[in-house]
Amino acid sequence: MKQSISQTALNTIALEAQSVAGLAAFIDDDFEKAVNAVHGSKGRLVISGIGKSAIVAQKIVATLNSTGTPSLFMHAADAIHGDLGMIQQDDVVLLISKSGESPEIKVLVPLVKNFGNILIGMVGNTASFLARESDIMLNTTVSKEACPNNLAPTSSTTAQMVMGDALAVCLMELNGFSGHDFAKYHPGGNLGKRMYLRVADLFAGNPVPKVLPGASLKEVIVEITEKRLGVTAVTDENNQVAGIITDGDLRRMLEKSSDISHIKASDILSPAPHTIAPDVLAVDALNELRSYDISQLIVAENGNYLGILHIHDLVREGII
């Protein structure tokens, strides 16, 4: 009787999780040697494989490049038809194979060794040709594929992927790779924006609502309405920040006052408002907004009023 769909899915997850957990036993001297070999190399890490292992190799290359370890992908089949030329003298080569006995791998291994490059084998069969011939071996043996026929690469490719991530993270730490370094390689993504986008990049296109302390209630309402930011700054004649008036301040004032004919901006404003400098990171501005549970911040430098940063500016740029 066939298992239910959900039970099959749960068994797949359990088997792959078991394979990943089993990698802990393979973080050994050879793993440290592999990390140190790549870290100490003056060249790149060239990663190769065949079939599903080649796809895993491409993902590991992408992870390494984005985290500060220059890497190249070389398909094992193409390597023996000209792509071996991409391997330079100082490069380290990583070959990935579950069986370690694929015909393409058997052809490629002696060619790499003849070049004199350090050869790391990531292999799921420690008695294989690749395991025996590698200078350093990363063991990714799994007890069983998640495939019901124990054939399709599932648990084994997951183990390869996780071993590659472990390698990349160790290299990140050795290289002192920081969040700001990460942003340099991801300037177009939301993660990168969190690391380089500043307040000055966000508020510059906004209207700049402001009134003097002596402005009438009508002038305050018109300024808030026209500038459409739900707020106006109150400044003195030298453009120094004196306070802030939000549309919420107006509503609360109207609820409390029966005679509003003589009310001025100075009667409504909240003194000493929260301000932020233009060179502050946008993500830090978001933390300010959240910590004070507000939607706008006055942008000012040395007390000089520059404009308004609205939470919608952060939403627009994907910071939230």
User: What's the number of domains the chain is made of?
Assistant: 2
302 and 161 within one domain = no
Q: What is the CATH number of the domain that holds 242?
A: 3.10.580.10
Whether 1 shows a pLDDT value over 90: the answer reads no
**Residues 201-214: what's their mean pLDDT?**
94
**Residues 304-313: what's their mean pLDDT?**
96
**Residues 114-136: what's their mean pLDDT?**
97
pLDDT band for position 255 (cuts 50, 70, 90):
confident
pLDDT of residue 188: 65
Confirm or deny that 81 is annotated as ligand binding: no
DSSP strands (E only) in the chain? 45-49, 71-75, 92-97, 118-123, 136-139, 210-211, 231-235, 241-246, 275-276, 296-301, 304-310
**Residues 109-120: what's their mean pLDDT?**
96
* Tokens standing for residue 144: 């069983």
pLDDT of residue 256: 84
44 and 172 within one domain = yes
Instruction: Say if residues 37 and 120 touch (Cβ distance below 8 Å).
Output: yes
Q: Which residue(s) pair with 211 in the sheet?
A: 234
C-alpha to C-alpha distance for 51 and 19, rounded to whole angstroms: 20
Maximum mean pLDDT: which of 4-8, 157-161, 250-254: 157-161
**Residues 308-317: what's their mean pLDDT?**
92
215 and 114 within one domain = no
Asked whether residue 284 is assigned to any structural domain, the reply reads: yes
User: Do strands 71-75 and 45-49 pair parallel, antiparallel, or not at all (unpaired)?
Assistant: parallel
167 and 56 within one domain = yes
124 and 9 within one domain = yes
Q: What is the CATH number of the domain that holds 23?
A: 3.40.50.10490
Whether 31 shows a pLDDT value over 90: the answer reads yes
161 and 22 within one domain = yes
Which amino acid belongs to residue 74? M
Asked whether residue 93 is assigned to any structural domain, the reply reads: yes
129 and 17 within one domain = yes
106 and 232 within one domain = no
**Residues 244-263: what's their mean pLDDT?**
88
**Residues 250-256: what's their mean pLDDT?**
88
**Where is 262: in which H helix or E strand?**
none
pLDDT band for position 189 (cuts 50, 70, 90):
low
Residue that wins the pLDDT comparison between 119 and 249: 119
Asked whether residue 184 is assigned to any structural domain, the reply reads: no
Range of the domain at 19: 5-177
Percent of the chain residues past pLDDT 90, beyond the cut: 81
C-alpha to C-alpha distance for 72 and 91, rounded to whole angstroms: 10
157 and 44 within one domain = yes
**Residues 301-310: what's their mean pLDDT?**
96
32 and 103 within one domain = yes
pLDDT band for position 148 (cuts 50, 70, 90):
confident
Q: Where are the alpha helices (DSSP H) in 67-204?
A: 76-79, 103-115, 129-133, 155-175, 179-185, 190-196, 199-203
Whether 258 shows a pLDDT value over 80: the answer reads no
C-alpha to C-alpha distance for 259 and 191, rounded to whole angstroms: 51
Whether 191 shows a pLDDT value over 80: the answer reads no
Asked whether residue 35 is assigned to any structural domain, the reply reads: yes
Q: Where are the alpha helices (DSSP H) in 116-154?
A: 129-133
pLDDT of residue 103: 95
205 and 170 within one domain = no
**Residues 123-151: what's their mean pLDDT?**
95
Asked whether residue 183 is assigned to any structural domain, the reply reads: no
76 and 144 within one domain = yes
Whether 263 shows a pLDDT value over 60: the answer reads yes
pLDDT of residue 180: 67
DSSP sequence for 68-101: T--EEEEEHHHHTTTGGGG--TT-EEEEEESSS-
**Where is 272: in which H helix or E strand?**
none
C-alpha to C-alpha distance for 172 and 110, rounded to whole angstroms: 30
pLDDT band for position 187 (cuts 50, 70, 90):
low
